[in-house]
Amino acid sequence: MTVQITLVKLLGYREWTESLGPDREHKIQTVQGRLHSLLCETFAQYGAIAHPLRYDIMIAVTNGVDLEAHLEILRRIQACAPVPVVMSIAIGSTVLDAERRASQLLLVHNNGPVVTHDEIPDRSPVCVVHADLRNSTDLFLKLSAYETYTYVSRIFRAFRLVMRKMSGIALYLGGDNMIGITTPDTLQLDLLRRFSKKYNVRIGIGIDSTPREALRKATHALDTLRRCDILDVMVL
């Protein structure tokens, strides 16, 4: 069982930001927002899941997305980006393994446009863990907006450690939502159930050979737990 990870890197990003002068942060945030939107939308059209890491580096789970599709995605992102864009594609037995290999490819070969040393395989299933905080509205009523944000950030840090124990990665989606990406054979339901009870978090899990469909299943499971007001872990 394998997973495919794609990294998208903006070359010369720091130099570009400095060229904007000292009154630049609002301009940078505006460009980053556009790139974030385009990244998520474009990868989703090919059944993948994408998310910014540092904004100059973005990550996507791309099981089943071939090289031709990557080139088209790259073309669309490059049309919006203020600097050159490169991609690396790597296969690994776990999400962390694939991400490390993709990072190494970027370090060694960053003159792109798309770098891969792997033959893109048939689709293997990917596992998406979608978590959100139970009764977050009540929490907001007790705390301030910023204190609620800080509290959710602490939970996300704990979630990130849990996903790492499953050789996976964690991504913060905003609000009280977060997702983890791992493989079915590294999924640990007991570990997630303990996390759910400790932090009052509902967890939906989806497994599918298409990452976007795995996320849809995870969100559907999470919505079911919400409707029934159940604090638990559900797998679809």
Residue 163 confidence (pLDDT) above 90: yes
Pair 75, 85: CB distance under 8 Å:
no
Tell whether 111 and 136 lie within a shared domain: no
Number of domains in the chain: 2
pLDDT digits (tens, 9 = 90+) for 111-148: 667 777 666 766 899 999 999 988 777 777 788 888 88
Q: Both 42 and 144 in a single domain?
A: no
Task: Note the pLDDT of residue 118.
Answer: 66
The verdict on 90 and 145 lying in the same domain is no
Pairing assessment for the beta strands 233-235 and 201-208 based on DSSP bridges:
parallel
Are 62 and 110 part of one and the same domain? yes
Boundary of a domain, candidates 116, 141, 166: 116
Range of the domain at 66: 3-116
Peptide bond into 211 cis (omega under 30): no
Q: What is the CATH number of the domain that holds 7?
A: 3.30.70.1230
Q: 141-170 in b/e burial notation, b at 16+ Cβ within 10 A?
A: eeeeeeebeebbeebbeebbebbeebbbbb
